[in-house]
Amino acid sequence: MGKRNYLLIFILTVGVFGILNTEMGVIGLLPSLAERFEVSVTEAGLLVSVFALGIAVSGPIMPLLFSGLDRKKVMLLVLAVFVAGNIVSLLTTNFTVLLIARIIPALFHPIYCSLAFTVAASSVSEEEAPKAVSKVFIGVSAGMVAGVPIASFIDSAVSYEMAMAFFGVVNVLVFIATLFFVSSMPVQERLSYGMQFSVLKKPMLWISIVTVILLNSSVFGVYSYISEYLRTVTHMSPNTISLTLFLFGGANMIGNIVAGRLLARSAAQSVIAFPLLLAAVYIVLFFTGPFAVPMAVTTVFWGILAGGIMANINQYLIASSAPEAPDFANGLFISACNVGTTVGAAIGGLFISQMGTPYVLWVGVLSVIVGMVTILLRHYMVAPARRLAGQ
């Protein structure tokens, strides 16, 4: 890649970090938000769940609506909406206004992330596309994992206002960098909405969507309750739990780098091997649960697979199923991930209430097993096309 491409991908990576940071970082501020707005922590949690719901609803629609416009202008628009939402969130004293200031950016969230993946992939050769996309996913992982402790630290060390301002500052910096360092990116071949919607007729796309939902369920069905698992099963102290989760987050970023190289070299083999490795990790986690050191070590391997590699594989599955409509496909990817997260967390909670905390890991195992079936089905659907291309 040339220097200009490196700069573009760096800006996109920081951009998705800012977007995801705005989404997830609020988790670390919920106690302060509840106190400031005089609501319960459960009510404050709406700031997270409503944001996620907005993404799930707008995921397939908004990227499609903006798919024919200059991509630089669209990215600037989304960043401007996020900056405005950050400012309102910082200044308002009304909880309803705060909710609205979260919902509106959530509707625009899939546009930026979808464009980031599309632009990164199109800025390099087809062979190098998985590596370029994997670099953008580093920003996704950092936003999802690092945003919470960073915001929580600023809140406790300085103030709630500075923590909220941090979200805005990142988005402002990306807006400025995009404005001055990203070239205009008009869409060369504008696809009609009907043509993009037509990809929904492809059975392989639907199998890919179901696979992404299952794989995301397998991870977030467990990750949503991992702190409780480490506390009650492994009997870790709060500080040790924080360190373990930090290691998990760092492993996510390593996984992104590994995933890009694996998908660029042997995509089909990597996709098939992934669920087998993830299931094996869950089984090891189940039996090493009471032991802190083996649990922490296995969590690192889980982080490499569950965070970095899975996210890249999920995006690859859907994007490669509808390459003729990349923006729409990436929007579907974002929605499928959010649906999987919601379903996994719900099933994980059900397992805990019915069987106990240790058995939440079997949500991961069962989802992966079903996901393996859909992956194999997809693989055999793609195989004839591959053979034809080889001829």
Q: Which two tokens stand for residue 135?
A: 């670099």
Residue 374: pLDDT band (50, 70, 90) is very high
Q: Which pLDDT score is estimated for 384?
A: 56
Residue 22 has pLDDT above 70, yes or no: yes
Determine contact, residues 249/308, Cβ cutoff 8 Å: no
Helix, strand or coil for residue 353?
helix
Task: For 66-123, write each residue's pLDDT tens digit.
Answer: 888 899 999 999 999 999 999 999 999 999 999 999 999 999 999 998 899 888 888 8
Measured CA to CA, the distance from residue 369 to residue 359 in angstroms comes to 16
Helix, strand or coil for residue 178?
helix
State what percent of residues in the chain have pLDDT above 70.
96
Q: Which pLDDT score is estimated for 55?
A: 86
Tracing tokens 């009510």 back to the chain, one arrives at: 43
Q: How many other β-carbons are positioned within 10 Å of the β-carbon of residue 165?
A: 18
Task: For 196-213, write each residue's pLDDT tens digit.
Answer: 778 888 999 999 999 999
Q: Which of 45-54, 282-291, 332-341, 376-385 has the highest mean pLDDT?
A: 282-291
Q: Which pLDDT score is estimated for 5?
A: 81
- Of the ranges 207-211, 232-236, 346-350, 370-374, which one carries the lowest mean pLDDT score? 346-350
Q: Span 350-354, mean pLDDT?
A: 86
Determine contact, residues 110/334, Cβ cutoff 8 Å: yes
Q: How many other β-carbons are positioned within 10 Å of the β-carbon of residue 97?
A: 14
Q: Which pLDDT score is estimated for 389?
A: 44
Residue 371 has pLDDT above 70, yes or no: yes
Q: What is the CA radius of gyration of the chain?
A: 20
Helix, strand or coil for residue 93?
coil
DSSP H or E run through 7: helix 3-24
Q: Which of 16-25, 298-307, 362-371 has the highest mean pLDDT?
A: 362-371
Q: Span 362-379, mean pLDDT?
A: 92
Q: Span 7-21, mean pLDDT?
A: 91
Mean pLDDT of the chain: 85
Residue 388 has pLDDT above 70, yes or no: no
Q: Which pLDDT score is estimated for 277?
A: 93
Q: Which of 12-16, 238-242, 376-380 has the highest mean pLDDT?
A: 12-16
Closest CA to 330 of 178, 16, 116: 116
Question: 352 CB contacts (<8 Å, ≥6 apart)?
Answer: 225, 228, 359, 360
Which residue type, as a one-letter code, is found at position 270? S
Q: Span 13-31, mean pLDDT?
A: 85
Q: pTM for the full model?
A: 0.78
Q: Which pLDDT score is estimated for 100?
A: 94
State what percent of residues in the chain have pLDDT above 90.
33
Q: Which pLDDT score is estimated for 383?
A: 63
Measured CA to CA, the distance from residue 358 to residue 148 in angstroms comes to 25
Q: Which of 198-207, 251-260, 300-309, 320-329 has the highest mean pLDDT?
A: 198-207
Q: Show the domains of the chain with their CATH numbers.
A: 1-190 (1.20.1250.20), 191-391 (1.20.1250.20)
- Residue 188 vs residues 70, 110, 381: alpha-carbon distances, Å: 9, 21, 31
Task: For 132-180, write each residue's pLDDT tens digit.
Answer: 888 888 888 777 777 777 887 888 788 888 988 999 999 999 999 999 9
Helix, strand or coil for residue 42?
helix
Task: For 211-256, write each residue's pLDDT tens digit.
Answer: 999 999 998 888 878 878 888 899 988 778 878 877 887 888 888 8
- Long-range contacts of the stretch 382-388 (C-beta < 8 A, 24+): 382/204, 382/268, 386/268
